[in-house]
A = this chain, B = another copy of it.
Amino acid sequence: MASTSPSELLERARAGHVPSIARLISLVESNVDDVTSILPDLYAAGGHAHIVGITGSPGSGKSTLVGRLVGELRSRGSRVAVVAVDPSSPFTGGAILGDRIRMQEHALDPGVFVRSMSSRGALGGLSRAVVEAVSVLDAAGYDVVIIETVGAGQGEIDIVRTAQTTLVVSVPGMGDDVQAIKAGVMEIADVHVVNKADRPGTNKTVLEIKGMLRFGPHPEEGAWQAPVLETISADGTGIPELADAISAHRAWLESSGELPRRERLAAARRVTTLVQELMVAQLTQPEGEEAFSRAIDDVAERRIDPRTAARELIQELVT
């Protein structure tokens, strides 16, 4: 397996060979030169999956909900991949234990792929890794790719934003919803889910969210109106309706012209980030290192100002 070329891996991944998919994700993440040659083919093969982001505070029963949702989507004939993001987890790379605990019921189903991703220091790095993994899973032909995060900070909101359809999961009581509102999470929801809806306070939480939605911008003709759904992930109540809402949002994205608009925005963000990353990478590569080191000396000894040095360095590195 170690000697399999990236293009062979891509071919096998596209044929649904799970170990090849897993290996390709690792390869793309590690960003080795080797993989550069297959990026055009990898990227061209994608664009068909429905990317669904799911976030919500810890304790909202998100993981169980995702498990149920995967079951429902499978019963409808979809192949489903899950990228579970847990920045606080001490596991690095593919957190195998996490994968197993999460999705035991789907462990033997070849139509389900699960990848856990945990912190690699910077959330920026994690964010990139998620985007790359999703592009591999998209190319491998999964119909739905779910990105699950714990939804704490800005970094995770940024990750969930890369999805086409975003679910925000709340639970009754505990002021959890209010917390989410404060954190700016509620605004990004295309579908609201109040999970554990057999608990007291469910109606109140549903009403609070609906009330909040009314304070938002007045919906334009043809705009998407985020539904507020009740689920009980423990017994599966409300899961078919949730799957319906997710499909309905995708259909709206396509019919309204919002999908290409979002794709364009995502492309702009990604190209911008990559332009920055590629330039910084140049500074530490052998060809760039000498020029960078000289520029630093010049700046430190005030023979040149930092901005002029940066401008000259760009010219020298690129041309």
A43 — nearest CB in chain B belongs to which residue? Answer: B305
Query: How many A residues face the partner with a CB closer than 8 A?
Result: 46
Chain B's nearest CB lies how many Å from the CB of A226?
25
Q: Which residues of B contact A36 (CB under 8 A)?
A: 307-308
Give bound CA distance, A300 to B296, whole Å: 38
Complex interface residues of chain A between 283 and 319 (CB less than 8 A to chain B)? 283, 292, 295-297, 299-300, 302-311, 313-315, 318-319
Q: Which residues of B contact A16 (CB under 8 A)?
A: none
Q: Is the CB of A271 within 8 A of B306?
A: yes
Contact of A274 among B40, B44, B263, B307 (CB under 8 A): B307
Is A272 in the interface zone, CB < 8 Å from B?
yes
Give bound CA distance, A278 to B296, whole Å: 17
Is A255 in the interface zone, CB < 8 Å from B?
no
Is A260 in the interface zone, CB < 8 Å from B?
yes
Chain B's nearest CB lies how many Å from the CB of A262?
9
Contact of A279 among B276, B297, B303, B309 (CB under 8 A): B276
Q: Which residues of B contact A295 (CB under 8 A)?
A: 271
Q: Which residues of B contact A248 (CB under 8 A)?
A: none
Number of copies: 2
Contact of A272 among B40, B270, B272, B283 (CB under 8 A): B283
Complex interface residues of chain A between 177 and 224 (CB less than 8 A to chain B)? none
Chain B's nearest CB lies how many Å from the CB of A293?
9
Quick one: given A260-B300, A274-B310, A295-B271, are A39 and B283 in contact (CB under 8 Å)? no
Q: Is the CB of A311 within 8 A of B278?
A: yes
Is A42 in the interface zone, CB < 8 Å from B?
yes
Give bound CA distance, A306 to B274, whole Å: 8
CB 8 Å contact bits of A237-281 with B (1 = contact, 0 = none):
000000000000000000000001001101110111011111110
Give bound CA distance, A43 to B303, whole Å: 8
Q: Is the CB of B310 within 8 A of A278?
A: yes
Q: Is the CB of A296 within 8 A of B268?
A: yes
Chain B's nearest CB lies how many Å from the CB of A260?
7
Give bound CA distance, A297 to B271, whole Å: 11
Q: Which residues of B contact A44 (CB under 8 A)?
A: 302-303, 305
Q: Which residues of B contact A272 (CB under 8 A)?
A: 280, 283
Q: Is the CB of A299 within 8 A of B270?
A: yes
Q: Which residues of B contact A305 (CB under 8 A)?
A: 39-40, 42-44
Q: Which residues of B contact A270 (CB under 8 A)?
A: 299, 306
Is A47 in the interface zone, CB < 8 Å from B?
yes
Is A46 in the interface zone, CB < 8 Å from B?
yes
Q: Is the CB of B276 within 8 A of A40?
A: no
Q: Which residues of B contact A279 (CB under 8 A)?
A: 275-276, 279, 314
Give bound CA distance, A11 to B224, whole Å: 58
Q: Which residues of B contact A40 (CB under 8 A)?
A: 304-305, 308
CB 8 Å contact bits of A37-64 with B (1 = contact, 0 = none):
0011011101100000000000000000
Give bound CA distance, A43 to B306, whole Å: 8
